[in-house]
Amino acid sequence: MKNILITGASAGIGSACVRAFLDAGWRVGLMARRMDALQAVAQGHAGAVILQGDVTSPEDVARCFGGFVAQAGRLDVLFNNAGSFGRAATIDELGYDEWRQVVEVNLHGMFLCAQAAFGQMRRQAPKGGRIINNGSISAHAPREGSVAYTTTKHAITGLTRTLSLDGRPYDIACGQIDIGNARTELLEGIIAANPANPPPTMDVDHVGRAVLSMAELPLEANVQFMTLMATKMPFIGRG
């Protein structure tokens, strides 16, 4: 049985990916802060391992990764997914604490989880594994009023590229999925704010299948960057 740890597993893209991997027969570690939400996602699945913790806490990350490996024996894949959008505002309207909260989750949290996964994959026998970072279309073309989110997602692209290079001697592959307009709780708020002109969307379960396809590749192959988006999004050109 292959093993994956998914952060931000209690809702949205994370929970969709949990379902996809459990249905495919993987053992899945579900890491998030809300125990009740994690229990709801994991209910009825023998392969689900609940890991309550905060990705911005080095102690929580060490405990959750260590606990999962103690049960699973090794870590084959990390889906580094936990993220926060924050309040929509221009840079002069955004408070420093609001900026820092988004950076803590989207950058520091993803660093801590990638660090824990990389170290485990480097040490385990046989060595190796795969880290999949959740980037965003905002790493290429941002929404208005998203300075904190967009800045961190550009940083994740740098993290992905660096891990890809540093992981080669240890058979650690790293790729990134950039997602646009999957129907999650976050997007529902954007739709509700634009009832007369709702954005094009896609079912979030498509993301689960895409991440699974990336994870199931042998380590000799890697999807370096995947863009998965609602077909009619105004992302390509001016259409």
Q: Name the active-site residue from 52, 131, 149, 152.
A: 149
Q: Quote the pLDDT of residue 236.
A: 84
User: Is 112 inside a domain boundary?
Assistant: yes
| Whether pLDDT at 101 is above 70 | yes
Two tokens, residue 183: 């129907």
Residue 80 lies inside a defined structural domain of this protein: yes
Is there a domain that residue 140 lies in? yes
Beta-carbon count within 10 A of 200 CB: 13
At residue 161 the predicted structure's pLDDT band, cuts being 50, 70 and 90, is: very high
What's the pLDDT score for residue 52? Answer: 98
Q: Quick check: 38 and 10 in contact, CB under 8 A? A: yes
| Residue 72 belongs to some domain of the structure | yes
pTM of the model: 0.96
pLDDT digits (tens, 9 = 90+) for 62-79: 999 999 999 999 999 999
239 found inside a domain: no
Task: Examine residue 55 and state whether it is found in any structural domain, yes or no.
Answer: yes
pLDDT (0 to 100) of residue 76: 98
- Please check the confidence at residue 239 and state whether its pLDDT lies above 80: no
Q: For position 238, what pLDDT does the model report?
A: 59
Per-residue confidence (pLDDT) for residue 133, from 0 to 100:
98
Question: What mean pLDDT is predicted for residues 140-164?
Answer: 96
User: Angle at Cα 18 formed by Cα 41 and Cα 120, nearest 5°?
Assistant: 120
What is the rounded CA–CA span in Å between residue 158 and residue 161?
5
Does the residue 163 lie in any domain?
Answer: yes
User: Per-residue pLDDT for 190 more than 80?
Assistant: no
Domain count, the chain: 1
CATH number at residue 205: 3.40.50.720
Answer yes or no: is 50 within a domain.
yes
Rounded CA gap, 197 and 220, in Å? 44
Whether 96 is catalytic: no
Contacts of 200 (CB under 8 A, 6+ apart): 181, 230, 231, 232, 233
Rg of the chain on CA atoms, in Å: 17
Q: How far is CA 195 from CA 142, 161, 181, 189, 213, in A?
A: 21, 38, 15, 10, 34
Instruction: State which residues form the domain around 10.
Output: 3-229
pLDDT at 187: 78
pLDDT tier for residue 235 given thresholds of 50, 70 and 90: confident
